[in-house]
Amino acid sequence: MRKLYFSNIVAFLFLFATSVFAQSEHHSATSATADSTVAVHGVEATAEHAPGAEAHAEGKVDLGHMIMHHIADDHKWEFAHGIGVHLPVIAYTKDGVKVFSSSKLEDEHGNPVAYEGLILEHGKLHAEDGSHVLDLSITKNVASLLVSAVLLLLIFISVGNAYKERGTKAPKGLQSWLEPIIIFIRDEVVKNSIGEKHYRRFLPYLLTLFFFIWINNLLGLLPGGANVTGNIAVTLVLSVLTLLITNLNGKSTYWGHIFAMPGVPKWLLVILTPVEIIGVFTKPVSLMIRLFANITAGHIIMLSFIGLIFILKIWMVTPVISAFAVFMNIIELLVAFLQAFIFTLLTASYIGSAVEEHHHDDHH
């Protein structure tokens, strides 16, 4: 247990630092390629050519802009049109750390304006002079992650206390609702994939993984919800955690099948070994893309149905489109569970293949 917990903590800290570095590199690269003159006059240019400005002037709906605005991360959490919360901006610039509300970066009409030498361009924070900016702001996705973390703590502390108080008695309330799901993940997913001997070491992580993805999927379906699991950075961190935990716990049998597959001629290993090594990395990549693509596609489909009402402007089709939207929302509830289940199942199967021991001697 201690070995697993220590490796998880190290992996988490490593990935956090990596994600921050990657984000800073992204901002740096973008800022470096941006012309400084354009940056100085970015306010006027953005105000004149703001996405959807021409469409709004003609009374049209820019459905593409609306969809991208919903599924993308932002420095403002908008629950409905015109109703939202400005989140704190935390930026490290050449002048030091700057902390202020994101409301300072827009005027009363919602157009971007410069403040403290910083400006928002297409949802990204840049310096007016093109210098490097490390954006550590509490964005919409970060805020939603914090909300989901608080929910997970409240739910499972409550369930844990219920088990302490009731012991072996019949569960009640939230405990009775979650117990079948926990037992299902434990017995049908983790134990079946990893085996009786090793599954207990990985059960805490895999249960956390399942409920983290599921709760964030459900939060994303709420009106004004953030698209956390539809963010490639979040699914990247989850998949890299799977990669690290799988390979850090890999036994000699696991590595032997990768570098020296038993029963295979040595000349054929020249072909198979690179393929197996590539497979070590493509498995978590497939996890990352599958979760990201399915959740993002669901949001796009839902918003497209709703946007058709405003594009067609025919009230007769509204009940039909609304019925389809309700149906798709029900499907999305199922998808929210299935994607969490599939991600956890595949992660458990990868870990199971890594910790599997040699069984040939058991038959003799």
Interacting residues of 57 by C-beta distance below 8 A, sequence separation 6+: none
Domain ranges of the chain: 85-135, 140-363
Give the residue from 97, 103, 53, 115 showing the smallest Cα distance to 78: 103
What tens-digit pLDDT sequence spans the chain (364 residues)? 334 444 444 444 444 444 444 444 344 434 343 343 333 333 333 334 444 444 444 456 677 777 777 788 888 888 776 677 888 989 888 888 889 888 888 887 778 888 888 888 877 888 888 888 888 889 999 999 999 999 999 999 998 888 888 777 777 888 888 999 999 999 999 999 998 888 999 999 999 999 999 999 999 988 888 889 999 999 999 999 999 999 999 888 888 888 877 777 888 888 888 888 998 999 999 999 999 999 998 888 888 878 877 787 777 778 888 888 888 888 999 999 999 999 999 999 999 999 887 654 444 4
DSSP lists the bridge partners of residue 101 as 88
CB within 8 Å of 15: residues ≥ 6 apart: 237, 240, 241
Angle, to 10 degrees, between the axis of helix 252-259 and the axis of helix 266-312? 100
